[in-house]
Structure 1
Amino acid sequence: MYKALRYIVILALIGVGVFWVVTRPAQVDAAQVAQLSTDAARGETVFWAAGCAACHAAPGAEDEERRVLSGGMAFPSPFGTFHAPNISPDPDHGIGGWSVADLASAMLHGTAPDGAHYYPAFPYASYARATLDDVGDLHAYLMTLPASDTPSRPHDVGFPFNIRRSLGGWKWLFAHDDWIVPVTGETLERGRYLVEALGHCGECHTPRNALGGLDYGRWLQGAPSPDGKGRVPAITPDKLDWSERDIAAYLSTGFTPEYDVAGGHMTEVVKNLAHLPEDDLSAIAAYLKAVPPGS
């Protein structure tokens, strides 16, 4: 009995050690971004491509109010309801005190400045593919936006999903920076970067497994809406038979080739993408036509 108990204790300690190592938060070292030459003008393009205003502007904000990132949008899910935080330059309620390394840690690793894991409602599983240059430029642009002293709303998440440390295990299983679709050529690679990284299109258009990880084997093949109402459509070439020109036009205007208009959360996406240069929208369209069709 004593020997068996000893083995159990040893195995338990090993298990705790492995868990602690696997779930430790990753952060970007300040030295990695110290030499970046950041540019707020370039950062504005990153801002719109990454959809920051779609989630972090106050619900119902329009025009210039969309640049006030006071947060508040709610995201219902099977794991609880998440609320987009204030990411304005306010030093107390926003991210005014964040460094470039802090923003890079958040976007690339899902780690807060204090070392806590962020929930993947913040799409860092996609942003992990972004470049440090783009993160630095985005930081420069965010710091030019109006500050808001609106406090961030806490998430409504119950046990066991409120155990932040366990999110390290989720990241270990499901968050990586590998490209999903192999492509070659400048246009297709730019389109892939905008779709798989900054635009995080797969976060809505790809089905998830029971733990909320994206099912990359069914990339962009459509998924149930996280709030349980309706379905997000597939945008693989076999389901979306629009031409590249039609896709690019839809992303800039919201009008489909059938003269229908974008609805739901896609209206926010179009408001963001309409700010991108025409070449970027064409690159997105080219990539979507190059994605393998669904089964």
Structure 2
Amino acid sequence: MRRILKLLVAAAVIGVAVGLWLTAPDRVAPERFASLSGDVAAGEKVFTASGCASCHHVPGAEDKLILAGGMAFPSDFGTFYAPNISPDPSAGIGDWKVIDLANAVMKGVSPKGQHYYPAFPYNAYNKMTDQDVADLFAYLQSLPADATPSKPHDVGFPFNIRRSLGGWKLLFFSDDYVMDVPADLERGRYLVEAQAHCAECHTPRNALGGLDTSRWMAGAPNPSGKGTIPALTPDKLTWSAEDVAYYLESGFTPEYDSVGGHMAEVVDNFAHLSAEDRAAVAAYVKALPAPKADTSGSSSY
């Protein structure tokens, strides 16, 4: 009996050790960013395309460049709150280095080595180029600092165990693009799948919160519990590429309706991008294949 007990204890210890190894945070190699210099002007474009202000500005504030956070994001796993990412050295990211931002947006790992929740769309941002991350860091450090502390997430057991997110990453973390596209669609793919992280809202998720890539952009329930996020696939969205590009610029649909909800923030971002970028996004959207399974997505916003 003692021998069996010892074997069981040894197996348990080995199991825990393997689990800790498998769920350990991964980090970006520091030498990738050692020689990169960020450009503030270029970083502003990355910031806009990536929608940073849309989530991290203070809810209801007129100045959307004060990134003190606080916006709530309800989900089946709890309510997440956007943190302070202003250059304040205590409450924000003022004491970060560019490698810290790279680990955050590309690996979902904090400077202290903790996993971030995937409510932060690092599973899209991980496709960004190193130069874009360096430029984004330069721009973020140029913005106003704010000392408002980040609001803690309202997440209960077992989802409040950060280490378990390492297991989630083993299942769903990927820096591969979903769609294979020709060269003329690569810019649109980069904007949609990486910077603008469109799939985070427009693609349905499985029971563990991972994106169901077999139904890419096929619409999804609204995390707030009110309605659905519309499908962008050709079986649902019948707009032309010109209609899509104009919507991203103006917020007006071909049916003379206007944008609403959180999508208004997205349109505000895209309206500040170039016409070429909006056209690139529209071309990618029109190249989407029809989903393999039927969805309840709608084409009206």
Bin of the TM-score, shorter chain as denominator length: over 0.9
1:236 has 2:262 as partner? no
Q: Using the alignment, how far apart are the partners of 2:168 and 2:31 within structure 1? A: 27
TM-score normalised to structure 1 length: 0.96
2:286 to 282, 286, 289: 289
Write the letter of the residue equivalent to 1:237: P
1:20-59 matches, cutoff 5 A: 20-59=20-59
Q: Following superposition of structure 1 onto structure 2, how do residues 117-132 of structure 1 map, counting pairs within 5 Å? A: 117-132=115-130
Aligned residues of 1:28 and 1:102 also touching (Cα < 8 A)? no
Instruction: State the alpha-carbon separation in 2 of the partners of residues 201 and 50 from structure 1.
Output: 10
Q: CA deviation digits over 1:249-294, x for unaligned, max 9?
A: 1011111111101111101111111111111110000011111111
Structure 2 partner of 1:3: 3
Q: Do structure 1's residue 96 and structure 2's residue 94 form an aligned pair?
A: yes
Matches within 5 A, 1:96-175: 96-175=94-173
Structure 1 vs Structure 2: percent identity of aligned residues?
62
Per the TM alignment, residue 12 of structure 1 is displaced from its structure 2 partner at its CA by: 1.5
- In the other structure, the counterpart of 2:297 is none
2: CA distance, partners of 1:213 / 1:59: 27
Q: Is the 8 A contact 2:214 2:291 kept in 1?
A: no
Partner of 1:83: 81
Residue aligning to 1:216:
213
Aligned to 2:295: none
SS at match of 1:288: helix
Give the unaligned 5+ runs of structure 2. Answer: 293-301
Separation of aligned partners in 1, 2:261 and 2:233: 20
Q: CA offset at residue 135 of structure 1?
A: 0.4
Residue identity in the other structure for 2:152? P
Task: Report the AA paired with residue 256 of structure 1.
Answer: T
Provide the rounded CA distance (Å) in 2 between the counterparts of 1:164 and 1:207: 24
Q: Determine helix, strand or coil for the equivalent of 1:81.
A: strand
- The amino acid across from 1:29 in the alignment is A
C-alpha distance in structure 2 between counterparts of 1:197 and 1:203, whole Å = 10
1:258 is paired with a residue of what secondary structure?
coil
User: Equivalent residue of 1:67, what SS?
Assistant: coil
Q: How far off its partner does 1:26 sit?
A: 1.4
Aligned equivalents of 1:268, 1:162: Cα separation in 2: 29
**Counterpart Cα distance in 2 of 1:33 and 1:207:** 34
User: SS in structure 2 opposite 1:106?
Assistant: helix
Q: How far apart, in 2, do the equivalents of 1:11 and 1:145 lie?
A: 52
Question: TM-score under structure 2 normalisation?
Answer: 0.95
Aligned with 1:76: secondary structure?
Answer: strand
Q: Is the 8 A contact 2:107 2:126 kept in 1?
A: yes
CA distance in 2, matches of 1:8, 1:216: 40
Report deviation, 1:30: 2.6
**CA RMSD in angstroms, aligned pairs only:** 1.1
How many Å apart are 1:8 and its aligned residue? 2.0
Structure 1: 5+ residue runs without aligned partners? none
Is 1:13 matched up with 2:10? no
Deviations 1:12-34 (A, max 9, x none): 12211221111111122332201
Secondary structure of 1:268 counterpart: helix
| Offset at residue 2 of structure 1 (A) | 3.0
Q: In the alignment, does 2:235 pair up with 1:261?
A: no
Give the equivalent residue in structure 1 for 2:69.
Answer: 71
